Amino acid sequence: MAFIILIVGLLIGVPIAVSIIAALMFFMATGEAPYAMRLVATEMFKGMNSFPLLAIPLFVLAGEVMTESGITSRIIAFANVLVGRLRAGLALVNIWASVIFAGLSGSAVADTSAIGRVFIPEMEKHGYDRAYAAALTAASSVIGPIIPPSIPVIIYALIVSGVSVPALFMAGVVPGILLAIFLSIWVMLTVKIDKNAPANDLPQQPAMQAILQGIPPLLMPVFVVGSILLGIVTPTEAASFAVAYALFLGVFVYRNIKISALPRIFRDAMRDSSVILIIIGAVSAANWLLTYNRLPNMLTEWVLANVDSKTAFLLAVMVLFLVVGLFLEGIAAMLVLVPILHPIAVGLGVDPVHFGIIVIFNLMIGLITPPLGLCLFVAEGVAQVGMARLIKQIMPFFFVEVLVLAILTFVPQTVTFLPTILGY
């Protein structure tokens, strides 16, 4: 019955956290000792009672402030100087602006919203199909949680003890850039642009001016990630620095943020953070139940006894997370599956940092896959092209991202190279 409650809740659109809590409360209320309903609240509190978790609302707040401060237009101008004059220049600017924005927000959904509001109408004006522009924006936004700083990386490090945040941060750099390169190649080979559209992709400004205006935003990830790598601050302290830096730029340098707007910005950040944190709490309570019944241990023992090939295991994990990503939000899926699969991966000799990045990459692809891809919904909300058209346009990008995932999965050096040479 508890399982039926969970599945029915998810199918009818009840929020994931609420569905999990409802199933747990039913199970605890009807089960025998030591099950008791109070355990749900206790384990939820334990799951959220963690100082490192404070980094999540702080990075969310930093992203909100960055978006509000008008930094998006400066990032676009900077990217336009780099790739805007190439074939399909505006589409390439879309992709590489996402790479730069990834170092500021760490969130794919924030990336889709901020970049999409500028690029989707602009690309349509310059001869691109509107649904294609929305699909490209959603697909490139997957880079956001892979390149540091990254909220999913921090959550993964909290789930798996012994895997360092700096190592995971550095491990995400090459995969993020590799994804941007593959998306760029695909766009340049296949894009169709209306020949009657205006020739200029974006309003041009002096290159030096665009570069100088782009430097202050680009310094934030350098300071944040650099301070963590040097051991000066913890990820939580670095997140607070990111908020302070974003506020300084928005209020005093660019002066796009009024003091009167701060309550709204903080409110929006609290709302978005609460969604993540309540899922973490609910899944922590569910994980207690699974662990108490030794389900992860039994599954680990079974896999180790029946799967003797690291390659077969990684292939199975890739398929599993791609399927799970169709139905579960990435962070929720990570919280449920990683505690079970990580010990198996280590037992088979998979590098923990490599495994962490391919799990995160897998689940971020889920953000652009129907029926529950959050970035799809955000892109469609901006573009208003209908979900059927958007899904048709995004499928080629989905296969490009799966190809990159396969390279990362079966060529571990693409992930571990940078952390290794930096001593992590």
Ordered per-residue pLDDT tens for the chain, 424 residues? 888 888 888 778 777 788 888 888 888 888 776 777 788 888 888 878 877 778 778 878 887 887 787 776 777 777 777 776 766 778 888 888 888 777 666 677 777 877 787 778 878 887 888 999 999 999 998 888 888 878 888 888 888 878 888 899 899 999 999 999 999 999 988 887 766 555 544 555 667 777 777 788 778 777 877 887 777 888 788 888 888 888 888 888 888 888 898 999 999 888 878 877 887 788 778 878 877 777 767 776 777 777 778 888 898 888 888 887 776 767 777 887 888 889 888 888 899 999 999 999 998 898 888 766 778 888 888 888 888 888 899 999 999 999 999 999 999 999 999 998 888 7
Closest CA to 329 of 368, 362, 374: 374
Closest CA to 102 of 207, 179, 204, 210: 179
- CA dist., res. 37 & res. 242, Å (int): 39
The pLDDT of residue 284: 79
Reported as half-sphere exposure (CB side, CA atoms, 13 A), residue 84 has a value of 21
Q: How far is CA 253 from the centre of its chain?
A: 28
| CB-based contact 191:91 (threshold 8 Å) | yes
- CA dist., res. 7 & res. 23, Å (int): 9
Closest CA to 254 of 290, 216, 211: 216
Closest CA to 246 of 238, 54, 143, 232: 238
In the numeric block, the tokens 């749900």 are attached to: 40
Residue type, 87: R
Query: pTM of the prediction?
Result: 0.78
The pLDDT of residue 73: 72
Q: How many CB atoms lie within 10 A of CB 129?
A: 18
Closest CA to 163 of 363, 413, 345, 401: 345
The pLDDT of residue 201: 47
The pLDDT of residue 134: 92
| CB-based contact 285:47 (threshold 8 Å) | yes
Closest CA to 376 of 139, 144, 179: 139
- CA dist., res. 75 & res. 234, Å (int): 27
Q: Kindly state the greatest CA–CA separation across the chain.
A: 73
The pLDDT of residue 374: 75
